[in-house]
């Protein structure tokens, strides 16, 4: 029997449990993804902390803490993957500009800034405002820039 699953409802139902469990271990879930790939369901949780790296032991501990509770909330067989966001993570939401404040990023703009031709910059996130956009320190010339939220095409963490 085929079962229809509303993945948005599942994510809405499990998010508080995942957030509380991650916070007990000192982490923030920056992305929770419930997707079907090759006829299999995957629940992926990406963890982050400003004060410590995400280790394999951390992922295992959180997986063990979540397993039986998630099984009660998710009505299909699924594979659980808990991991760090990765060293050069591509941002998937605006909240990541706040989460990764102070970190180095590679930024791609939709349109060049006034008087410039380049659309790709490397620098550091100084601040983020949902209305104003990004305050960014550009490494090339040491300039502090204000970049409109609507002009940001993509951003990803950047490692030297």
d(CA 10, CA 86): 25
The CATH architecture of the domain made up of 95-157 is Roll (2.30)
Taking the model in full, what pTM does it have?
A: 0.79
Contact 123, 100 (CB under 8 A): no
d(CA 64, CA 140): 45
Partner residues linked to 78 by β-bridges: 41
Q: Where are the domains of the chain?
A: 7-83, 95-157
Domain 7-83 grouped into CATH 1.10.1040.50: no
Contact 142, 71 (CB under 8 A): no
Nearest C-alpha neighbor of 136 from the set 101, 85, 88: 101
Q: What is the pLDDT along the chain (160 residues), one digit of tens a residue?
A: 456 788 899 999 999 999 999 999 999 999 999 999 999 999 999 999 988 989 999 999 999 999 889 999 999 999 999 999 888 889 988 889 998 999 999 999 999 988 888 899 999 999 999 998 999 998 888 889 999 999 999 999 988 7
């Amino acid at each position: 029997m085929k079962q229809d699953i509303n993945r948005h409802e599942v994510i809405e139902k499990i998010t508080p449990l995942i957030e509380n469990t991650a916070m007990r271990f000192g982490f923030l879930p920056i992305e929770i993804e419930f997707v079907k790939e090759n006829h299999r369901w995957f629940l992926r949780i990406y963890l982050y902390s400003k004060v410590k790296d995400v280790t394999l032991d951390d992922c295992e501990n959180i997986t063990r803490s979540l397993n039986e509770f998630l099984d009660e909330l998710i009505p299909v067989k699924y594979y659980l993957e808990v991991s760090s966001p990765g060293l050069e993570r591509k941002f998937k939401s605006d909240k990541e500009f706040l989460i990764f404040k102070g970190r180095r990023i590679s930024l791609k703009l939709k349109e060049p800034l006034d008087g410039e031709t380049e659309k790709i910059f490397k620098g550091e996130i100084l601040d983020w405002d949902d209305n104003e956009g990004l305050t960014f320190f550009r490494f090339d010339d040491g300039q502090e820039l204000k970049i409109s939220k609507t002009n940001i095409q993509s951003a990803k963490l950047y490692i030297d």
